[in-house]
Amino acid sequence: MAAKILPYLLGGISVGGQYALIAIGYTMVYGILRLINFAHGDIFTVAGFLMVYAAATMPLYCSIPLVIMLTILLGVLVEKVAYRPLRTAPRMSVMISAIGMSYLLQNLMWYMTGGLAKQYPTLPWIGDKITVAGYTTSRVTLITPFLTVVLVVLLVLLIQKTKIGMAMRAASRDFETAQLMGIKLNSVISFTFVVGSGLAAVGSMLYFSNYATVTPTVGAMPGLKAFVAAVFGGIGSIPGAVIGGFIIGICESFIKGAGATTFSDAFTFALLIVILAVKPTGLFGENLTEKV
Amino acid sequence: MKKNNSRRTLIAAGLIVAMLALLLVLDNVPGVPPMLLTVLRKGAIYALVAVSMNLLNGFTGLFSLGQAGFMLLGAYTYSVLTIPVENQTAIYQQYAGGGVHFSITESLSNAMGGFGTLLGVIICLLLAGIMAAIFAYLIGLPVLRLKSDYLAIATLGFAEILRAVVQYAKLGPITNGSNLLYGFTSFDSFRIGSLKLSTVMPFIFSGLCIAVVVLLINSTYGRAFKAIRDDEVAAEAMGINLAKHKRMSFVISSFFAGISGALLAMYQASVQATTFKAAMTYEILLIVVIGGIGSISGSIIASFLFVGCSEWWLRFLDNETTLKSFNAKLIFAIIFGLIVLGILVLTLWRQVKTGKLPVATAPGGKRKVLFGRSAVGPSLLALAVLAWDVYFVISPKLKLPLMRSGFRMVVFSVVIMVMVLFFREGIMGDKELPDLFGKRPKNAKKEAAK
């Protein structure tokens, strides 16, 4: 029995870690801007494509940091172009802008790649096959949860201990008052996108190492699931997003294991609706009356 | 006053008859570009779904992203009920001939001939709508308690669940799993004698549905919807039952989304669950935004523009083009340069409007825009592009760069982004087409303001 469950558990934890890394981007942006950044899943996919191209032309120790930096640049650029001009606009307009941005990024990727699936480069060491308790998997499956936890701890330290972290907390608590206290809101928001996109880039490296190919629309589904994870954990809460990511990843993996692959996506959204109906603030969310 | 009204009705009826006659001619005259017919048919169908989404998002203020799911329900209901019995063995070959051993349109057309087919189609369209409406009612029970983006994400989730359920193997005998459904009654089945009606029918069906929506919006219910959109608390204080009206709007919107899904199935002559993705909802939402949130005529115009641009007018961008002569290149370069300048002016104008660029008022009352730091970036970018434009004219190359498969959609989405960022009102704002002619509605508004 245990031998049967183990592969699914490992797979689930690994996917969950990847969801968690994406979910942090959603939850941080939502925490400050109250905006579902629909383009986040596409930024994640762009990171995948960047890696495909970068790995073809340069050694890995160059391409990995380069990809992370370019993804961060893209995230900040998206914020500057699509969200900053609408800072005072109604929330619906910003959300529509986010959807438009997602549409643009998808079409752009389609154009650049000709719509073909690209082979993702195998990253050495983390892509190696290893055997755990009689079950063969790639090393990335084992590394993902640890890497996720390490990154999250670093992030929480950043938010709790540094000045920019304090500014972020202040901005997410109260937009206007934070500005009155001399916090430069635009730079805080840009920094949020830096962190979110950087983690999405790392997440994409781990995710695509397991999936082998990248297509322009492949990021939409993990993106939405990561958002569900963020809502599940309580939007705005980073530990919540991580736990939500792991729970969704594990559940999904078991559903696939039980032979109901078509329903693994449906389950995620059913979970979302149940959570929203029963406890809209999520597991660790703050009680904000305006939310629901 | 009454006389005036009846004259208006006459004019409108005349216009409608003329339009249908024109469509009939287009349908049957050889030499009409097939793309035109595609745009007209698909545009009419998208107009209906855009209007249904507008009813919810624009008039009731419920931001829902479930439209593709309801369209899927409608499309499947319609096609399952109308596949002729003889085709079912071939279509459902993986599910032992399927579990549906009747076809409404087929039985009715056997019994009553051509009229039977029409009646069958109408019945099935209504059933498609009712199916979507029933699901909307059930989904609405938990979901409509949510607000703004939570509602959006929950409805999006429901659409995805529906897509997964339809592809479920156990439902295979009815939905054919993830395989294609085809061979059912489509628009090509409509003809009077040898006259084809393939373009007229979508216009009639979706026109009738849109007319119903317009009547609804102008009724007391419609006013209640608008009141909810403008201020929920105030609406409730005025005695409007929030839950009831929200549910009603959601169900009606889904009903028409279901019908438009069925129409889309008729137009495509095949149905597959994978086409009803979230991306479809996004496209419809963008149509509504471009047309103007809260404007029926805006949604209709925008859907024809949207379908036209994405299917036809921008098609040339997808082909690798080599210009024929230097003159053609010059013309291209000038047009391109003007577009770039136009975008730059728009950007700067926007900065002036939002107060980012300082405006000094000279002693003569003349206002002068000062050049600020925020204008440097866009200006440099525009200059660089213009420099490339000049270089392109000088260089001996005649082949246009960048043009290849997929470029159309990139340009298209950039245009949409520009619309979303700079023209948030959309084409029509919240006005309707008749508001643009005649002053009556304007005066009425002024009186209301007093």
Q: Min CA distance, B317 vs chain A (Å)?
A: 12
pLDDT in tens, A91-101: 888 888 998 99
| 8 Å CB contact of A269 and B165 | no
H-run or E-run covering A76: helix A60-78
Rounded CA-CA distance A16/A25 in Å is 15
Cβ-proximal residues to A44 (8 Å cutoff; 6+ apart), any chain: A22, A200, A201, A203, A204, A207, A219, A222, A223
Residue B345: the pLDDT is 86
Q: How many percent of chain B have pLDDT more than 70? A: 91
Residue A291's closest chain B neighbor by CA? B147
Query: Residues of chain A with pLDDT > 70: what percent?
Result: 95
pLDDT in tens, B52-72: 999 998 899 888 899 999 999
Query: Is the minimum CB–CB distance between A115 and chain B shorter than 8 Å?
Result: yes
Confidence of residue B163 (pLDDT cuts 50, 70, 90): confident
**Average pLDDT value for chain B:** 83
| B410/A36 Cβ within 8 A | no
Answer yes or no: do A102 and B282 touch at CB < 8 A: yes
User: Quick one: pLDDT band at residue A199, thresholds 50, 70, 90?
Assistant: very high
Residues of chain A with C-beta less than 8 angstroms from the C-beta of B152? 36, 95
User: A2 pLDDT band (50/70/90 cuts)?
Assistant: low
Q: What is the mean pLDDT of residues B349-367?
A: 68
- Whole-number Å distance between alpha carbons of A43 and A27: 15
Instruction: Tell me which H or E stretch contains B191.
Output: strand B191-192
The pLDDT of B413-425, averaged and rounded, is: 84
Residues of A in contact with B306 (CB under 8 A): none
pLDDT digits (tens, 9 = 90+) for A168-183: 888 888 888 888 988 8
Nearest C-alpha in A relative to B177? A262
Question: What is the token pair recorded at A275?
Answer: 């959570």
Q: What is the pLDDT of residues B204-242, one digit of tens each?
A: 999 999 999 999 999 999 999 999 988 889 999 989 999
What residues does each domain of chain A span? 2-278
CB spacing of A103 vs B282 below 8 angstroms: yes
**Residue A120 DSSP SS3:** coil
Query: Does residue B358 surpass a pLDDT of 70?
Result: no
- Across B93-127, b (16+ Cβ under 10 Å) vs e yields eebeebebeebbbbebbeeeeeebbbbbbeebbbb
CB B23 within 8 A of CB B16: no
Q: Which residues partner with A87 through β-bridges? A: none
Output the pLDDT for position B450.
36
Pairwise CB contact (< 8 Å): B421 & A86: yes
- For the segment B114-137, the average pLDDT, to the nearest whole number, is 90
Chain A: give the shortest CA distance to residue B206, in Å. Answer: 26
A132 part of contact set with chain B, CB < 8 Å: no
B378 vs B213, more confident: B213
Contacts of B407 in chain A (CB under 8 A): 111
Give the span between the Cα atoms of B43 and B20, in whole angstroms: 15
As a CATH number, domain A2-278 is: 1.10.3470.10
CB-nearest partner of B417 from A91, A93, A104:
A104
Give the pLDDT of residue A275.
85
Find the mean pLDDT for residues A121-135. Answer: 73
Helical H segments across B64-181, by residue range:
67-82, 85-91, 104-112, 114-143, 148-166, 172-175
Interchain contact B150–A (C-beta under 8 A): yes
Which of B245, B283, B50 is CA-nearest to residue B140? Answer: B245
* Torsion on CA atoms B139, B144, B146, B148, rounded to nearest 10: 110
Question: Residue B357: its pLDDT value, please?
Answer: 66
Q: Mean pLDDT across chain A, nearest whole number?
A: 85
Question: Within 13 A of B253's CA, how many CA atoms are on the CB side?
Answer: 31
Task: Report, as an integer, the average pLDDT of B169-177.
Answer: 79
**Taking Cα atoms as reference points, which of A241, A221, A242, A219 lies closest to residue A230?**
A241
pLDDT band at A289 (very low <50, low <70, confident <90, very high): very low
pLDDT at residue B302 is higher than 80: yes
Chain B closest-CA separation from residue A114 CA (Å): 7
B153/A114 CB distance under 8 A: no
Nearest to B168 among A100, A262, A269 (CB): A262
- For chain B, the structural domain boundaries read 1-32, 37-317, 330-402
pLDDT value for A3 = 67
